[in-house]
Amino acid sequence: MRIKSRKISPKTVGFLYADRSSVVIRLEGIGEERAENQAYRWNGLERGQHGSAIFQITLQGRGEIRFGETVYALPKNHAFLCRIPGDHEYYLPEGEAFWEFLFITVHGEDALRHWMELERKLGHVFELPPKSELLKLLSGLLEDIVESPLVDSFELSATLYRMVLELHRIADAAEPIQNDMPAPLRRAIDLIRERYREDLSLEALAAFSGLSKYHFCRLFQKKMGIKPMRFIRHVRIEQAVLLLSQTDMPIAKVGEACGFSHTNYFIKTFRELVGVTPGEFRRSPEHLSFGQWKVGR
Q: How far apart are CA 216 and CA 228, in angstroms?
A: 9
Q: Which residues pair with 227 in a beta bridge?
A: none
Task: Encode pLDDT of 15-63 as tens digits.
Answer: 776 665 556 688 888 999 999 998 999 999 988 778 899 999 999 999 9
Q: How far apart are CA 266 and CA 233, in angstroms?
A: 10
Q: Name the DSSP letter for residue 285.
A: G
For residue 147, the model assigns a pLDDT of: 77
User: What does the pLDDT average to over 1-6?
Assistant: 30
pLDDT exceeds 50 at position 8: no
Does the pTM surpass 0.85? The reply is: no
For residue 297, the model assigns a pLDDT of: 53
Q: Which of 242, 176, 247, 175 is nearest to 12 (CA)?
A: 242
Task: Encode pLDDT of 96-154 as tens digits.
Answer: 999 999 999 998 888 888 898 888 888 889 998 877 889 999 998 888 887 776 677 77
Question: 258 and 243 in contact (C-beta within 8 Å)?
Answer: yes
Class of domain 12-171: mainly beta
Average pLDDT across the chain, whole number = 83
Task: Give me the residue spans of the domains in the chain.
Answer: 12-171, 183-295
pLDDT exceeds 60 at position 176: no
User: What does the pLDDT average to over 207-215?
Assistant: 93
pLDDT exceeds 70 at position 65: yes
For residue 194, the model assigns a pLDDT of: 84
For residue 83, the model assigns a pLDDT of: 92
Per-residue burial over 180-212, b = 16 or more CB atoms within 10 Å of its CB, e = otherwise: eeeebbebbbebbeeebeeebebeebbebbebe
User: CATH homologous superfamily for 183-295?
Assistant: Homeodomain-like (1.10.10.60)
Q: Name the DSSP letter for residue 199.
A: -
Q: How far apart are CA 120 and CA 122, in angstroms?
A: 6
Matching CATH topology for 12-171 and 183-295?
no
For residue 94, the model assigns a pLDDT of: 92
Where residue 179 falls among pLDDT bands split at 50, 70, 90?
very low
Where residue 259 falls among pLDDT bands split at 50, 70, 90?
very high
For residue 18, the model assigns a pLDDT of: 63
For residue 255, the model assigns a pLDDT of: 93
Where residue 266 falls among pLDDT bands split at 50, 70, 90?
very high
Residue with more model confidence, 4 or 39: 39
> In one letter, which amino acid is 117?
E
pLDDT exceeds 50 at position 177: no
pLDDT exceeds 50 at position 9: no
Give percent of the chain above pLDDT 90: 38
